[in-house]
């Protein structure tokens, strides 16, 4: 019975389903941005202690995390805007 109620709710409110999808896309994007900030802080701390050059991997990974995180957030924002039109 509960599955029928759930399917009826989703069929009656498709905009809420699209908003739920946007929320599910937002969560990994936020986690990626948080991880990039944490990694950058660790790299800065390591550079301050070691006084050496940063490895290329330590500089490339946060940029990749930032781009992927902001892409997830932008896609979620577009989905949320689209749900207001539906």
Give the pair of three-digit tokens for residue 3: 């599955």
In this prediction, residue 30 carries a pLDDT of: 93
User: Rounded CA gap, 34 and 41, in Å?
Assistant: 11
pLDDT in tens, 20-36: 888 999 999 999 999 98
Token pair in block for residue 36: 């990039």
Kindly tell me if the per-residue pLDDT of 54 is higher than 90: no
Whether 75 shows a pLDDT value over 70: the answer reads yes
| Segments making up each domain of the chain, as ranges | 14-85
Please state the pTM of the whole predicted model.
0.70
State the Cα–Cα distance between residues 38 and 27, nearest whole angstrom: 17
């Amino acid at each position: 019975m509960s599955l029928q109620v759930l399917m009826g709710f989703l069929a009656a409110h498709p905009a809420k389903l699209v908003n739920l999808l946007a929320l599910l896309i937002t969560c990994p994007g936020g986690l990626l941005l948080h991880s990039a900030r944490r990694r950058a802080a660790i790299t800065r701390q390591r550079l301050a202690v070691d006084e050496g050059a940063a490895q290329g991997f330590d500089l490339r990974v946060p940029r990749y995390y930032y781009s992927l995180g902001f892409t997830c957030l932008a896609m979620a924002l577009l989905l949320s805007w689209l749900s207001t039109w539906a």
